[in-house]
Amino acid sequence: MDYKRLAELLFPNVTQTPADMESLYPARQLPEGAKVTRFAPSPTGFVHFGGLFPTTVAERLAHQSGGVLYLRIEDTDARREVAGAAEGLIKTLSRYGIDFDEGAILDESGKVSDKGIYGPYKQSLRGPVYHVYAKQLVSEGKAYPCFTEAAELEEILSVNKKEEIKNTDWQAEAEARRAEMLKAREITMDEVEKNIAAGNPFVLRILADGDSERKIKFTDLVKGAMEIPENDEDFVLLKSDGIPTYHFAHAVDDHLMGTTHVIRGEEWLPSLAKHLQLFRYLGFKTPKYLHIAQIMRLDENGNKKKLSKRDMGANMDDYTEMGYCPEAVCEYVMTLLNSNYEEWRMQNPEKSYKEFPFNIKKMSVSGCLFDFAKLEDVSKNVISKMDADKVTDAVTAWALEFDAPFGKLLSENRDMAKAIFSIGRGGKKPRKDLATWRDAKPYMGFFFDEYYEVESPYPDKFPKEDIKSVLTEFLATYEPADDMTVWFDKIKSIAEKNGYTTDMKAYKASPESFKGNVADVSMFLRLAVTGKVNSPDMYSVMQILGKEKVEARILTMIEKL
Ligand code: GLU
């Protein structure tokens, strides 16, 4: 077969050569050790927690090494594309600390446009580039056209779709296709000419030189050394509309765009042999690979399951409504990504997670477990370290979007809100009441009469008379100008007077000798003033509420008793 002639027949309009491409995409001038990584989403929907994961790795590796992180839109499957998804992805990722240096980015008008000289960064705009390399492969006898309908079928039953046809006999299907494939390899120039003259579409297949009985040694930077069977499948490079498959586009783009490290989900591992073959055929240097394990979750029975698209916590956009702050989510992702992160955090409580020396070797090989309880924990810590201004602004912004009346109250009473969020903030042991902005209302809503509500009655064991008398005596002596010690001394003396001890030691030794202790007396006041059994520091609460409200609430309670 005259491969050069075949190449001309198939790609008569391609005049550029791989050498032309190399000069259009010059090697990057970066410092030694700088890594070039990318996020390469198919714009089919939202950012999944499982997608934020590899992307954070890509961001860290690039920026920690003085390299480049770029965004490439893999929109070669028009059937699956969702309008506006690319814009959404970019915005969401930016919220989670992932900002791209290059690639498809948002311009001022909010539309996706290219930044950088290695574009276009949208695969649908790169047709001519792929065709240059397709032509090269054909002219070297490494790829051939396939005009049969079965080829179309294969395109539809591509790797990703295997799942869906589980019910058919996959083995028989594979054998039939192999026979088909071997027959297709034998195509003659005559047949090609006839088909082309008739305007018949073709798919371009690689001519695989592998033997699945033989193994290739390969080292994945996360998974370590492995042996994978060679590829013996003549997989499709170009679909009949001339659009490349993921495999082909991956090799061409990551080569031309100078990617040094490909970070992607482990669902691509089964395709790796194909990719290695392609890089070899094309004469490209293979990038380093990091295949990241799927994120798991525990189901109701405690079994590990893949965190699927529909699971709670999968869609990153939901976190905003749930009220998680991005800093906390990033912090949580870091704890999952590197096993020594939490230790580092303890030693460096004030530093940004971006200062952590991220280490590929400390990544989990087998997959991380997604756990809301852990996220909440991390989040409480993160929020506890923020200053009151930041918390006030964030809670207000969240509420304005998701709980407008509450948001309005907060913004109209900003000073008061800030004073509330200042309670127990700063110092060595800050309060950890908030895991999400959504937690703010249950925590401090009682400051506003609109949300003040007595949540539970006084425990029956305390005589109503005692409670009444405590509340009444407190009112009689209450003086907002008192400092905290004087204020508390007054409560203590009210306690003693009513037979509630202030001597906690004595109380613990024989609780039956007392009606109760000073903590119970504080609870009488707390329930009246805040409506709750637990609340932030009562002295601060009363200071912020002010004399009028404190007295009014206590009076109402006395009347109710
Ligand atoms: N478009 C592919 C995906 O969304 C990209 C995989 C890769 O990072 O190479 O799965």
Alpha carbon 390 to chain centroid distance?
A: 22
d(CA 106, CA 101): 11
Q: Report yes or no on 476 lying in a domain.
A: yes
Q: Is the peptide bond before 120 cis (omega within 30 degrees of 0)?
A: yes
Mean pLDDT of 241-257: 97
Residues 178 and 234 in one domain: yes
Phi, psi for residue 508 in degrees, rounded to 5: -65, -35
Residues 428 and 482 in one domain: no
Kindly give the distance from the C-alpha atom of residue 42 to the centroid of ligand 1, in angstroms, as a whole number.
Answer: 7
Residues 540 and 393 in one domain: no
Does ligand 1 have an atom closer than 6 angstroms to the CB of 187? Answer: no
Ligand 1 atom 8: the closest Cα is on which residue? 264
Q: Report yes or no on 492 lying in a domain.
A: yes
Last residue of a domain, one of 292, 318, 349: 292
Q: Report yes or no on 36 lying in a domain.
A: no
Mean pLDDT of 446-459: 96
Does ligand 1 have an atom closer than 6 angstroms to the CB of 287? Answer: no
Kindly give the distance from the C-alpha atom of residue 39 to the centroid of ligand 1, in angstroms, as a whole number.
Answer: 8
Residues 501 and 420 in one domain: no
Residues 552 and 403 in one domain: no
Place of tokens 């046809």: 165
Per the structure, the count of domains in the chain is 3
d(CA 12, CA 138): 12
Does ligand 1 have an atom closer than 6 angstroms to the CB of 264? Answer: yes
Does ligand 1 have an atom closer than 6 angstroms to the CB of 38? Answer: no
For residue 417, give every residue at least 6 positions away whose Cβ sits within 8 Å of its Cβ, in sequence order, or none.
392, 395, 396, 410
Does ligand 1 have an atom closer than 6 angstroms to the CB of 41? Answer: yes
Residues 271 and 135 in one domain: yes
Last residue of a domain, one of 292, 316, 337: 292
Ligand 1 atom 4: the closest Cα is on which residue? 41
Whether this prediction's pTM lies above 0.85 is answered by yes
For residue 552, give every residue at least 6 positions away whose Cβ sits within 8 Å of its Cβ, in sequence order, or none.
none
- Determine if residue 368 is left, alpha or beta; phi over 0 gives left, psi from -120 to 50 gives alpha, anything else beta: beta
Mean pLDDT of 373-401: 97
User: Residue 522 is part of a domain; what is its CATH number?
Assistant: 1.10.10.350
Does ligand 1 have an atom closer than 6 angstroms to the CB of 250? Answer: yes
Q: Report yes or no on 199 lying in a domain.
A: yes
Residues 435 and 518 in one domain: no
Q: What is the pLDDT of residue 160?
A: 41
Kindly give the distance from the C-alpha atom of residue 322 to the centroid of ligand 1, in angstroms, as a whole number.
Answer: 28
Residues 433 and 473 in one domain: no
d(CA 126, CA 118): 11
Mean pLDDT of 175-183: 76
Does ligand 1 have an atom closer than 6 angstroms to the CB of 445? Answer: no
User: Residue 168 is part of a domain; what is its CATH number?
Assistant: 3.40.50.620
What is the domain range of residue 439? Answer: 388-447
Q: Residues 130-164: pLDDT tens digits? A: 999 999 999 999 999 998 665 455 554 554 455 45
Residues 427 and 537 in one domain: no
Kindly give the distance from the C-alpha atom of residue 41 to the centroid of ligand 1, in angstroms, as a whole number.
Answer: 6
Q: Report yes or no on 268 lying in a domain.
A: yes
Q: Mutation test of ligand 1: which of 59, 260, 268 has the most ligand atoms closer than 8 Å to its C-beta?
A: 268
* Residue 351: pLDDT band with limits 50, 70, 90: very high
Ligand 1 atom 3: the closest Cα is on which residue? 41
Residues 420 and 473 in one domain: no
| Helix, strand and coil percent figures for the chain, each rounded to 5 | 50, 10, 35
Q: And the tokens for 196? A: 């082309």
Kindly give the distance from the C-alpha atom of residue 268 to the centroid of ligand 1, in angstroms, as a whole number.
Answer: 8
Residues 215 and 133 in one domain: yes
